[in-house]
Structure 1
Amino acid sequence: MKLRKVPAAAAVALALSLALTACGSDGGGSGTDDGKKITVGIKFDQPGIGLKTPDGTYEGFDVDVARYVAGQLGYKPSDIVWKEAKSADRETLLQRGDVDFIVASYSINDERRKKVDFAGPYLLAHQDVLVRADDDSITKPSDLNHKKLCSVTGSTSAQNIRTKLAPQAQLQEYGGYSECLTGLENKTVDALTTDDSILAGYAAQKSFEGKFKLAGFRLSNENYGIGVRKGDTELKNKINAALEKMVADGSWKKAVEANLGPAGYRNEPPPKIGVVVG
């Protein structure tokens, strides 16, 4: 009798072991093909940079950068969960752990560095102003005095102009650049300011073709970085390595040309990792 009980117990144990293993394989563990996801913050309303299209897909230079970086970290495009990262929300998203990293035309500055860390920079842009194509009243920064100047809540662009160049500009802050663009088209605002890369993307849209123009002011240097949680040096270093590879293998140039080239955007050479141009 004892000889019969031993194999029976072993059989039960083996069955339980197999059942638990099967449950584990269906439960989304840490394997590379086992439900691994990464959450990335991008802009949803910036053509050429970060845009959620009506059919629910995502496109733009930042999106291509994010996909490349995620790929170097071991994630397939289908593993990426995209989350909207509005300008005013970026630090909070990182601090709460709502996203793993942010690629959202995120300019590196000292104030933001107090709250988050940055990989990169991966693009050097310049602040400019977008005006209506038929408006010849704004030809230099000081012409923005007494004009209604639009930017988004949380952006430093409009404050830069009011502080340094046109202290009497009437600042209008909206939730997104699309709202500013509608105001510019409807003449409820006179100018929209942000980075030239973003403005070029808007101006190049077919629905706005011929309606707007860049003023051509290079008002600041904007070093785009990839935001990570404060103190996450390991992830920061991995992202920097991915960015260096993206430049070296030609993917960076291809992404710039595909997303910003049609607008006639003249990009700067890829910046050196860790070097912020003042």
Structure 2
Amino acid sequence: MMKPTVRPLTAAALCGALTLTAACTADRDAGGPSPGVSDEPSSAAARQKPSILARGVNIGVKYDQPGFNVEDGDTRHHAGFENDLANFLGKEMKFEGMAFNDIPSKDREKVLREGTAELVIATYSITDDRDEEIDFAGPYFQTRQGLLVRDEDRSIDSREKTAGKVVCTVQGSTSDTRDSKPSTRKQLARLLPEAGVHLQEDYSDCVQQLRAGNVDAVWTDQAVLYGFVERHDDVRVVEGLEIGSPQLYGVGIQEGAEEDCRRVAEKLREFITSARWRESFRNHFPKLAAADEQFEQHYKPAVSDVDAYSCSDD
């Protein structure tokens, strides 16, 4: 069930978004993205529908994704890298208002297909399978996949050491072996060949199961896992263990809104080439930024990636 939080784009909200200038699922080998066509007009341009972003915009997000978007249950205040990005898009594209809706990973395509959300900004990896149903602008973030374990557990230091272990991931994510297509399942079986997979609705549930000792590891994108490290001091990301190629996070948008998609892509180019990207990362992943002096090289995509993967007309 989607839980809407209506947020008019007030002057105060815009000012908060702008303070950042002062100064967070298969990899590409497992059904990942192929470059789209971003610069040449599509043959479907003549059928372009009116802008879906002309009025208030419904945005699908994740409320409990540390580092990317977290909602305070008492104040209803949102904070996170993707919250900063949403506010930036709202200000720059002059949305009349925004309604944030909490959605599970498995429903991201559904809300776009059904029109209950115009955009999805929710650690949404660009893949060919998803691009068949919806469109993407981006990426605005990149990360490898990895494993989160209890801090005292040293039994897992490689993919092979997951044999016989129970690994938790989320339904509908790029790590979900059950809902993935056969080719993707085959690739994921190769990545963690002997591990048992336990599915939960969201990553907070997985981390809770890990901390309680009910599973041995949580498997997803490293940036998402580092977000939970910022929150809990009894878990850690397995160092030196990177699974697959980078995951590229894009803004999901309804299929057929090509002009809106290109407008969003243009604003993403501005976001990642300005100080906003760097300051937002530092604000919401402070431990990771302090530990990794090259965090921009590791987590910020190139502008050429935005050109290549945005608004495919396939």
Query: Which TM-score tier does this pair reach, normalised by the shorter chain?
Result: 0.7 to 0.9
| 1:52 aligned residue (55, 71, 82) | 71
User: Where does residue 102 of structure 1 map in the other structure?
Assistant: 120
Distance in 1, Cα, partners of 2:237 & 2:153:
11
Residues 121 and 251, structure 2, Cα contact 8 Å, conserved in 1: yes
Do 1:162 and 1:168's aligned partners in 2 also have CA atoms closer than 8 Å?
Answer: no
| SS of equivalent residue, structure 2 residue 307 | coil
Report deviation, 1:158. Answer: 4.9
What letter matches 2:192 in structure 1? A
- 2:219 equivalent to 1:188: no
Instruction: Tell me by how many angstroms 1:230 deviates.
Output: 1.1
Q: Structure 2 CA distance, aligned partners of 1:274 and 1:192? A: 32
Q: Report the Cα distance in structure 2 between the residues aligned to 1:219 and 1:158, rounded to whole angstroms.
A: 14
CA contact (8 A) 1:43 1:85 kept: yes
Partners of 2:191 and 2:242 lie apart in 1 by 12
Matches within 5 A, 1:69-148: 69-75=89-95, 79-148=97-166
- CA contact 1:162–1:169 (8 Å) conserved in 2: no
C-alpha distance in 2 between matches for 1:193 and 1:179: 12
- Normalising by the residue count of structure 1, what TM-score does the alignment of the two structures yield? 0.81
Q: Deviations over 1:122-151 (max 9, x none)?
A: 111110100011111101011111100000
Pick from 265, 270, 284: which aligns with 1:240? 265
Kept after mapping to 2: 8 A contact 1:119/1:274: no
Distance 1:274 1:128 in 2: 27
What's the offset of the Cα at 1:256? 1.3
- Looking at structure 2, the residues matched to 41 and 158 of structure 1 have their Cα atoms a distance apart, in angstroms, of 20
Higher relative contact order (CA 8 A, sep 6+): 2
- For 1:261, give the aligned amino acid: P
Per the TM alignment, residue 262 of structure 1 is displaced from its structure 2 partner at its CA by: 3.0
Structure 2 segments unaligned to the other structure (5+ residues): 1-53, 178-184, 310-314
Q: Is the 8 A contact 1:184 1:192 kept in 2?
A: yes
Name the residue aligned to 2:86.
Answer: 66
More displaced stretch, 143-152 vs 246-255? 246-255
Larger radius of gyration: 1
Contact 2:175/2:188 (<8 A) preserved: no
SS in 1 for 2:152: coil
Cα gap change, 1:158 to 1:214, in 2 (>3 Å): farther
Deviations 1:44-77 (A, max 9, x none): 110111211222111111111111112121026x
Maintained 8 Å contact 2:191/2:243: no
Q: Residue 154 of structure 1 aligns to which amino acid in structure 2? A: G
Contact 1:138 1:215 in 2 (8 A): yes
How large is the Cα RMSD of the aligned pairs? 1.8
SS of the equivalent of 1:204 reads helix
Greater CA deviation, 65-74 or 86-95? 65-74
Q: Of the candidates 213, 226, 234, which is equivalent to residue 200 of structure 1?
A: 226
Detail structure 1 runs of 4+ shifted over 4 Å in the superposition. Answer: none
The amino acid that maps onto 1:133 is D
Q: Deviations over 1:143-188 (max 9, x none)?
A: 1111000001111225377422222211100001111011000110
In structure 1, the gaps of 5 or more residues are 1-34
- 2:200 and 2:256 mapped to 1: Cα distance? 32
Which of 39-48 and 156-165 deviates more? 156-165
SS in structure 2 at match of 1:202: helix
2:227–2:285 Cα contact (<8 Å) kept: yes
Q: 2:190 is matched with which residue?
A: 164
C-alpha distance in 1 between matches for 2:251 and 2:100: 15
Letter in 2 for 1:39: N
| CA contact 1:121–1:275 (8 Å) conserved in 2 | no
- Same amino acid, percent of matched pairs: 27
- Which region of structure 1 is more displaced relative to structure 2, 157-166 or 60-69? 157-166
Q: Deviations over 1:217-244 (max 9, x none)?
A: 2213100010001121111101011111
Query: Please, which of 216, 219, 222 is the counterpart of residue 243 of structure 2?
Result: 219
Residue in 2 aligned with 1:257?
282
The alignment partner of 1:157 has SS state of coil
Measure, in 2, the Cα distance between the counterparts of 1:274 and 1:91: 22
Aligned to 1:40: 59
